[in-house]
């Protein structure tokens, strides 16, 4: 069967490709910017400072990252279906520029598919692969965005002509550079198709965004997480068992040590910590996987503890967890975060001692930090 016959729909056309491209461009830009931000927050270079306020900023940026990624899936599927005949264009390569542009379609299509599939699997904590998700997702994001920039440049004239209503008829002799598709849908057919794709994207969003927007919990039937389900009414990503934190480690022998560049090293029992002045803060756990949930925490402000240990007021600290393995057994608290009055070493959640899975006996909870940096089972505060 000839290629042209295989793609008989009029919707294999430039206008639909460009409009879906624009929607994907917006979604991928938000996704890339928020993903990059999350990377910088977790691995801050010297020039980067992440504020501790507003307290829920990371919750918004990471919620957006996952929501735009999920909403992009129907857009990408629709876009690839619309442009499918362009893959079989003849001759396959016309000149060097065309060859570069076409070669870039491999990282563009492959990279986009990889990012959306691996990101979605990650939100379900499903890892049917051997590589380290975060590093691969981050590296492929750069490759995909590079290829997307080339693609946008190659299709800029066509997209501009579409948006300004100056796209010539596919049969006309003079065509903007880069046009491969010859379909010509009726406006009503196109509206129905693009409206349908937008509706599917909207449904995907509504069905998942309740994992971070609590009022939408009830309709978010596909959300990987319910923000109200977990010990003490809050979800848990890493349980004490998974982190190999046993009740023996958190028993009577438990001590919090404050070490490093301090005038007065401290070693405190749980009772001594509980006897220090306490503060209450309502703060979210905002997970890198896009869910978030607020809790009311009470504990010792980190800055009070640093003052007690005679540390510099602008000290940066490293927290050490009782967990024996795993990437997140340590975290850095920047000077900005350490100085925030709501950055707590929390002893209670919702008025009760922390559940072991929430980090009993002591965990960090601070405003505007990714969940993986809210270290649980804290046993040492090392002033750097
Ligand atoms: C993840 C994002 C995107 C993917 C995976 C993607 C993929 C593709 C593919 C595979 C083609 C067919 C190859 C070709 O015509 O040479 C194509 C065509 C096109 N794309 Fe994209 N694209 C994306 C984003 C965009 C963006 C952001 C724009 C516009 C700003 C855009 C505008 C177009 C246009 C105008 C065409 C040409 C249709 C024609 O040949 O008549 N695309 N896209």
- For the segment 318-359, what is each residue's pLDDT rounded down to a tens digit? 999 999 877 889 999 999 999 999 999 999 999 999 999 999
Domain's final residue, options 168, 187, 219: 219
Neighbours of 9 (CB within 10 A): 15
109 pocket-lining for ligand 1 (C-beta < 6 Å): yes
**190 C-alpha to ligand 1 centroid (Å):** 17
Residue 326 confidence (pLDDT): 77
- Is there a single domain that holds both residue 272 and residue 158? no
Averaged confidence pLDDT in the chain? 95
Q: What is the pLDDT of residues 184-243, one digit of tens each?
A: 999 999 999 999 999 999 999 999 999 999 999 999 989 988 999 999 999 999 999 999
**By the 8 A CB rule, do 256 and 345 touch?**
yes
- Is there a single domain that holds both residue 132 and residue 236? no
- Is there a single domain that holds both residue 133 and residue 181? yes
Residue 327 confidence (pLDDT): 81
User: Does some domain include residue 224?
Assistant: no
| Average of per-residue pLDDT across 120-141 | 94
Counting the structural domains of the chain, the total is 2
- The residue whose CA has the least distance to atom 24 of ligand 1 is 21
Q: How confident is the model at residue 2 (pLDDT cuts 50, 70, 90)?
A: low
Please state the atom number of ligand 1 nearest to the C-alpha of residue 102: 16
β-partners of residue 266 are 258
Residue 83 confidence (pLDDT): 97
- Is there a single domain that holds both residue 175 and residue 70? yes
**21 C-alpha to ligand 1 centroid (Å):** 6
User: Does some domain include residue 227?
Assistant: no
Q: What is the CATH classification number for the domain harbouring 269?
A: 3.90.420.10
Neighbours of 365 (CB within 10 A): 27
- Is there a single domain that holds both residue 111 and residue 251? no
User: Does some domain include residue 290?
Assistant: yes
152 pocket-lining for ligand 1 (C-beta < 6 Å): yes
25 pocket-lining for ligand 1 (C-beta < 6 Å): yes
Indicate the top mutation candidate among 112, 155, 185 to test ligand 1's pocket, ranked by most ligand atoms within 8 A of CB.
155
- Is there a single domain that holds both residue 179 and residue 54? yes
User: Does some domain include residue 226?
Assistant: no
Using the predicted structure, report yes or no on whether residue 18 has a pLDDT greater than 60: yes
User: Does some domain include residue 116?
Assistant: yes
Q: What is the pLDDT of residues 162-176, one digit of tens each?
A: 999 999 999 898 888
Q: Report percent pLDDT > 90 for the chain.
A: 88
User: Does some domain include residue 225?
Assistant: no
User: Does some domain include residue 52?
Assistant: yes
- Is there a single domain that holds both residue 244 and residue 194? no
Which two tokens mark 225?
């997480």
| Average of per-residue pLDDT across 264-286 | 98
Domain's final residue, options 195, 219, 243: 219
Residue 1 confidence (pLDDT): 46
- Is there a single domain that holds both residue 64 and residue 118? yes
155 pocket-lining for ligand 1 (C-beta < 6 Å): yes
Q: Which domain holds residue 100?
A: 3-219
Residue 324 confidence (pLDDT): 83
* DSSP for 103-141, written as a single string: HTHHHHHHHHHHHHHHHHHHHTT---SSS-HHHHHHHHH
Which two tokens mark 75?
């857009």
105 pocket-lining for ligand 1 (C-beta < 6 Å): yes
8 CB contacts (<8 Å, ≥6 apart)?
Answer: none
- Is there a single domain that holds both residue 150 and residue 242? no
Residue 224 confidence (pLDDT): 87
pTM strictly above 0.85: yes
Tell me if the bond preceding 219 is cis, omega within 30° of 0.
no
> Measured at the alpha carbon of residue 73, what is the angle toward residues 88 and 199, in degrees to the nearest 5?
110
Phi-psi region of 230 (alpha: psi -120 to 50; beta: other; left: phi over 0): left
- Is there a single domain that holds both residue 296 and residue 250? yes
- Is there a single domain that holds both residue 96 and residue 201? yes
Domain's final residue, options 198, 219, 240: 219
- Is there a single domain that holds both residue 244 and residue 149? no
| Average of per-residue pLDDT across 26-34 | 98
User: Does some domain include residue 321?
Assistant: yes
């Amino acid at each position: 069967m000839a290629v042209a016959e295989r793609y008989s729909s009029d919707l294999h056309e430039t206008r639909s490709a460009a409009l879906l491209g624009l929607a994907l461009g917006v979604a991928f830009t938000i996704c890339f910017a928020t993903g990059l931000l999350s990377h910088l927050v977790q691995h801050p270079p010297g020039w980067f400072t992440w504020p501790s306020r507003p307290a829920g900023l990371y919750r918004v940026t990471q919620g957006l990252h996952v929501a735009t990624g999920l909403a992009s899936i129907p857009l990408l599927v629709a876009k690839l279906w619309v442009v499918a005949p362009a893959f079989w264009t003849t001759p396959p390569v016309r000149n060097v520029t065309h060859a570069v542009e076409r070669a870039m379609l491999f990282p563009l299509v492959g990279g986009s598919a990889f990012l959306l599939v691996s990101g979605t699997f990650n939100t379900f904590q499903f890892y049917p692969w051997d590589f380290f998700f975060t590093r691969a997702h981050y590296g492929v994001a750069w490759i995909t965005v590079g290829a997307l920039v080339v693609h946008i440049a190659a299709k800029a004239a066509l997209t501009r002509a579409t948006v300004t209503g100056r796209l010539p008829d596919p049969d006309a002799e003079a065509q903007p550079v880069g046009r491969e598709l010859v379909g010509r849908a009726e406006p009503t057919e196109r509206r129905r198709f693009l409206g349908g794709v937008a509706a599917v994207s909207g449904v995907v969003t509504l069905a998942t965004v309740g994992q971070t927007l609590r009022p939408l919990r009830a309709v978010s039937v596909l959300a990987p997480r319910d923000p109200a389900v977990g010990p003490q009414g809050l979800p848990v990503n890493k349980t004490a068992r998974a982190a190999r934190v046993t009740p023996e480690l958190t028993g009577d022998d438990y001590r919090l040590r404050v070490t490093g560049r301090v005038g007065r090293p401290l070693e405190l029992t749980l009772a001594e910590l509980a006897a220090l002045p306490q503060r209450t803060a309502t703060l979210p756990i905002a997970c890198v996987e896009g869910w978030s949930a607020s809790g009311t925490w009470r504990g010792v402000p980190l800055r009070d503890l640093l003052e007690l240990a005679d540390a510099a007021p602008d000290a940066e600290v490293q927290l050490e967890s009782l967990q024996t393995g795993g990437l997140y057994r340590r975290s850095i608290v920047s000077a900005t975060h350490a100085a925030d009055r709501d950055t707590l070493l929390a002893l209670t959640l919702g008025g009760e001692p922390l559940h072991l899975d929430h980090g009993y006996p002591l965990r960090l909870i601070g405003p505007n930090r990714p969940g993986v940096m809210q270290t649980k089972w804290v046993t040492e505060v090392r002033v750097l």
